[in-house]
Amino acid sequence: MKKTAIIYLSKTGFTKKYAQWTAEESGADIIPFSEAKKRRDKILTEYDSVVFGSRLIGGTINGLSKAKKLFYTGKIPFAVFVTGATPIDAQDTAPTLKKMWEQNFTPAELDSIPHFYMQSGLSYENMPFIEKQMMNAFKSMLKKKKGAEGISEGMAEVLGSSFDNSDKKFAAPLIQWIKG
Ligand SMILES: Cc1cc2nc3c(=O)[nH]c(=O)nc-3n(C[C@H](O)[C@H](O)[C@H](O)COP(=O)(O)O)c2cc1C
């Protein structure tokens, strides 16, 4: 049976939860990014594919550059999933996400790296102090100027407090990809 490593970076728990759901359904192994960085060579020989899961911070996929350098080697398939507070059903979500993919990947990478968005939420309780401050800065910026770079109006509306829109169903396309 083919083996997949799901390498994840998670601060407030949403990405970890999606990594766990995906692993349960697909039989993949999950490895925190901090550990995976140290075991890179072993991972590339022990596994048949690697998935990198992370979170959106100001439209950027946290840790992606490093993950690409380490695991997007051309030797084994590499896929990416990203969690974000942007609700998938808001009117301007599709163009916001399109822009986000284009900012994080080159056109060639977008063709060769399967990529998945999973709606999550916000957890102020688990957010590092510095990130709470960043959220406050975002909020006041959005009050002054609607539609800031990489932030949809859908997200601007939900920034106020903690919420959880995550659902197993958003992991289904990635589970399908892993099962091949
Ligand atoms: C400082 C900060 C910036 C964020 N920027 C975005 C963003 O640009 N787009 C988005 O959809 N979500 C954004 N989020 C929400 C996170 O991406 C979301 O909560 C994510 O699932 C957190 O993952 P984790 O729980 O695995 O750490 C932001 C959150 C923080 C704290």
**CA distance linking residue 104 with residue 123, whole number of Å:** 24
Alpha helices (H) along the chain = 14-26, 33-38, 40-46, 64-71, 93-104, 107-112, 129-144, 153-158, 172-179
Mind listing the pLDDT tens digit for each residue in 107-148? 999 999 999 999 999 999 999 999 999 888 877 777 676 555
Distance between Cα 83 and ligand 1 center (Å): 7
Domain 4-179: give its CATH architecture.
3-Layer(aba) Sandwich (3.40)
Amino acid at 174: L
85 close to ligand 1 (CB < 6 Angstrom): yes
Atom of ligand 1 nearest to the CA of 8: 26
The alpha carbon of 86 and the centre of ligand 1 are apart by a number of angstroms equal to: 8
Q: Is 155 near ligand 1, meaning CB less than 6 Å away?
A: yes
CB 63 near ligand 1, within 6 Å: no
Domain layout of the chain by residue ranges: 4-179
**Whether the model pTM is above 0.85:** yes
